[in-house]
Chains A and B, each alone.
Chain A
Amino acid sequence: MALVWITTIIGIISIGFCLMSIKILYRYINRYRFDESKYTLLFGIIRLRYVVGLYAAFSLFFAISSVLFMLYITL
């Protein structure tokens, strides 16, 4: 059961860190804006907000799935 608790704590810290990073990032990019329309996107399609979305989704998915995995093992 201790493993489940440790995994849950790691998951919460991970999600918290991700949210804090996104908050810092958006505070910075909203303060110093560039005209991105003149700039070629990464690989022609990837915008920063897609990366941020993927980051949040991945962190959340990984935290939840690892807790579920540990619960499945221990219970």
Chain B
Amino acid sequence: MNKTNNTDRHFKGQLESEVVQCFYRKHWIVLVRDLISFIVFVAVLTFVAMHFKGIYTFFAQDSLFTTFLAFSLLSLFTLFIHRFFLHFIRYYLDITVITNYRIVTIDKSLYLRDEKDAIDLPKIQDIKKSQHGIVKRLFNYGELIITLSSTTTTKVLVFVPNPGYHFRKINKLKREYIKERIGRRRSRDPHGVARKQEDTATMVNDITPLPNNT
């Protein structure tokens, strides 16, 4: 049988037989604040270009203050450009992968962050989809609240786009995983069921009625 080796194929730590079923990035609403600030920045630059003469005469003054001001503004604008684009790139790298075994959240940026969090499908006890508020309903995003069977803690996946689809997908994969595991156990121990029935019959036979002393 030709089986594909998926080790580290789509993300670091992917298992050999782990297949990516789907993945998602956070909803675009997370970028709105950055986009607004960038629009303001571009508006400032346009203003500078339009009022070039006045700004030129101000900065043409040969004083330490104007030199320092020019240097500070230039540095701030440069930092802002890099910050904005690095945030945008981070949006593309920050993904949640749903595989046939688990849900992996990869929180990565280019320089400062590299976090991974995995939830095994059989450990999921309950999933809740939450979409409260008009904005969430209008733009179709929300939270998936996952309760784990081993602990009382919950894991919340935020800004999930199309949460209904991902909710159904995780539930379906969990069912399939459990079915597959039962099938695997049966194929490994084909007489397991028969033995279980035999054991049950023995137990029933062992329960003999109590002697009636009266």
Q: Residues on A close to B: CB < 8 A?
A: 2-3, 6-7, 10-11, 14, 17-18, 21, 24-25, 28, 32-35, 38-40, 42-43, 48, 51-52, 54-55, 58-59, 62-63, 66, 70, 72-73
Contacts and interface: CB of A to CB of B under 8 A. Distances in A.
19 contacts: A3-B71, A14-B78, A18-B82, A21-B89, A21-B110, A25-B110, A28-B110, A32-B10, A34-B20, A34-B23, A39-B24, A39-B25, A40-B161, A43-B28, A48-B92, A51-B92, A55-B88, A62-B77, A73-B59
Contacts of B56: 72-73
B70 A51 contact: no
A70 B74 CA distance: 10
Interface string B51-67: 00000100110000001
Closest 3 CB pairs of A and B: A55-B85, A48-B92, A14-B78
Contacts of B59: 73
Interface residues of B, number: 36
A32 B11 contact: yes
A15 to B, nearest CB: 10
Contacts, number: 82
A66 to B, nearest CB: 5
B89 A25 contact: yes
A35 to B, nearest CB: 8
A51 B88 contact: yes
A18 B78 CA distance: 11
A54 B85 contact: yes
A11 B74 CA distance: 9
Given A21-B86, A25-B110, A32-B11, A59 B92 contact: no
B198 to A, nearest CB: 49
A28 B93 contact: yes
B82 A14 contact: yes
Contact of B70 (A3, A48, A62): A3
A24 B12 contact: no
Contacts of B78: 10-11, 14, 62-63, 66
